[in-house]
Chains A and B, each alone.
Chain A
Amino acid sequence: MPETTNQVILRRRQVIDTFKQELIRRLNLPYLPEDLHEDVSMLGSGLGLDSLDSLEVVLCVETCFKIKIPDENISVLRSINTVADFVIEQQDRAGGRA
């Protein structure tokens, strides 16, 4: 059964909130979670994370969601929203949804 709008929002908000808090903690970012727009670029412009930071992001996803980001899948790290897409897709696959 397709998720309702409220279910989509609730699930996505949980993933994003968890990820943002861990990202801020691990990288010691000088922002509150609500300061981080989900579409801001994480690499280069925007948050300006370097290659070492991106390893922290990968570990962050593993810690929070028990999901590994494959080395070749750097495109997942474009923004917080693209990380959330990846996490939700992987959770769906693991749970047999979608």
Chain B
Amino acid sequence: MRTSPLKEKLAAAGAVFRERHGVEVAAHFGDPAAECVAVREAAALTDFSFARLFTLPETPGIDYLDALVAGNVPKIRFGRVLHTFLADQAGRLAADCFVANNDQEFVFACESILPDAELEALLASAGVESQAKDLSADHVVLSLDGFKSWEIVKQIFGADVVGLPYLSIENYAFAGEPIRFIRAGKTSEFGYLLVAPVKIAGALFDTLQAAVAERGGRLAGVDAHDALRLEGRFFNIFQEGRRVGDPLPLGLQWMIDFEKENYSGCQAIKQRRAAGLKQKVIGFSAEAGCPALKCGAKIFHEGQPVGELVADCVSQVLHRPLALGVMPLELAFSGLSFRVGAPDGAVIRSISMPPIMPKSLTVRLDEM
């Protein structure tokens, strides 16, 4: 099982670890609800070293990556990041990906639900592996997220950093070493991914952790991020992505360039698109304390099972359970009432997502 280079530091800070798709991750630090609140109100630091990370030279990397992912790689402007996915040949989701055009190189970051060996085989099928430099073993990925996280990166890296648009990449230095800095959070608050060499990882972690603590924030685990992504309706490959598999009912069409003919899984996805959607994943909410709002629970309409929950959390903003469920197209509308768990189970309501207004959207650039 792959472990993080920061494992000792995380363990010393009270991390509770678990295995996720062949990688050991820090699930939480004792209080995942407080970790969620920290992101919404202040900032939180999370080890994202579970992500697979590669760099490729601009040429031929651009062609290799374009033959692999669903989005259009040649259209990525310098300094920008494409959010897309990697599918297997059957058009089933394998990884949630960022592809960044970063000065003579492409950075390819994957949140994968495939074991490392299977992911590498998929990359090799497009010729990527032979050209790619795998940074996963000698780099860490730190995710800094939260309403006040921009204050922290400004303090450490300078004022320029706050002007970076969402989905962009820039190179900075820390302790004399280069850091790839990606603005790309998935919590709906300000978010930054910092890719740093292992030799400065400990020092960077300590610096960020101290700055986070100064602002009332804390360390967070991946459990908090699962909840934050659902609350912000960011796609989560480890939850609904893994359970549904097909990108179309999940609403990931925006990650696809439908004019492309050659990416992994392209033909299968095109055929399903042409056949028309049959199901769609939508949001649900229940009254506080509803015990049945759990992944796998059946959704009932007029006494008949019609859908199933595929992700769940308790929102620390709304103080009630939220879920995503896969539903037949004719019932995939918000504003409807259903039963969950049994024909006479608790009432849940389909809702418009995202149900929260993040604080970060209220901050104006001239205030930063």
Residue B126 lies at the interface, judged by CB distance under 8 Å to chain A: no
Residue A39 lies at the interface, judged by CB distance under 8 Å to chain B: yes
Residue B92 lies at the interface, judged by CB distance under 8 Å to chain A: no
Interchain nearest-CB distance for A24 vs B (Å) = 12
User: Is B357's CB under 8 angstroms from A75's CB?
Assistant: yes
B335 to chain A: closest residue by CB: A8
Interface size class of A (residues with CB under 8 A): 20 to 34
Contact of B334 among A47, A78, A81 (CB under 8 A): A81
User: Is A13's CB under 8 angstroms from B166's CB?
Assistant: no
User: Is A85's CB under 8 angstroms from B352's CB?
Assistant: yes
User: Is B83's CB under 8 angstroms from A45's CB?
Assistant: yes
Of the 9-residue stretches B31-39, B220-228, B277-285, which lies at the interface with chain A? Answer: B277-285
Using a CB-CB cutoff of 8 Å, which residues 1-56 of chain A contact chain B?
A: 5, 8-9, 12-13, 30-31, 34-41, 43-48
A12: chain B residues within 8 A (beta carbon): 333-335
B283 to chain A: closest residue by CB: A39
User: Is B354's CB under 8 angstroms from A41's CB?
Assistant: yes
A82 to B354, CA, bound (A): 8
User: Is B254's CB under 8 angstroms from A79's CB?
Assistant: no
User: Is B352's CB under 8 angstroms from A37's CB?
Assistant: no
Contact of A9 among B167, B333, B337 (CB under 8 A): B333
Interface size class of B (residues with CB under 8 A): 20 to 34
User: Is B335's CB under 8 angstroms from A79's CB?
Assistant: no
User: Is B336's CB under 8 angstroms from A82's CB?
Assistant: no
Contact of B336 among A8, A30, A31, A75 (CB under 8 A): A8
Interchain nearest-CB distance for B219 vs A (Å) = 24
A36 to B253, CA, bound (A): 7
Residue A60 lies at the interface, judged by CB distance under 8 Å to chain B: no
List residues of B whose CB falls within 8 A of some A CB: 83, 166-167, 186, 233-234, 250-251, 253-254, 257-259, 273, 276-277, 280, 282-283, 330-331, 333-337, 352-354, 357, 361
* Smallest CB-CB A-B distances: 10 pairs: A37-B251, A81-B352, A39-B353, A35-B253, A75-B357, A44-B166, A12-B333, A9-B333, A85-B352, A82-B352
A-B contact pairs, 16 of them (CB 8 A): A5-B337, A31-B254, A31-B258, A35-B254, A36-B253, A37-B254, A39-B233, A39-B354, A41-B233, A41-B234, A43-B361, A45-B166, A47-B254, A75-B361, A79-B352, A79-B353
User: Given A37-B280, A39-B251, 15 more contacts at CB 8 Å?
Assistant: A8-B336, A31-B253, A31-B258, A34-B276, A34-B277, A36-B253, A37-B250, A38-B282, A39-B354, A41-B234, A45-B167, A47-B254, A74-B361, A82-B354, A84-B334
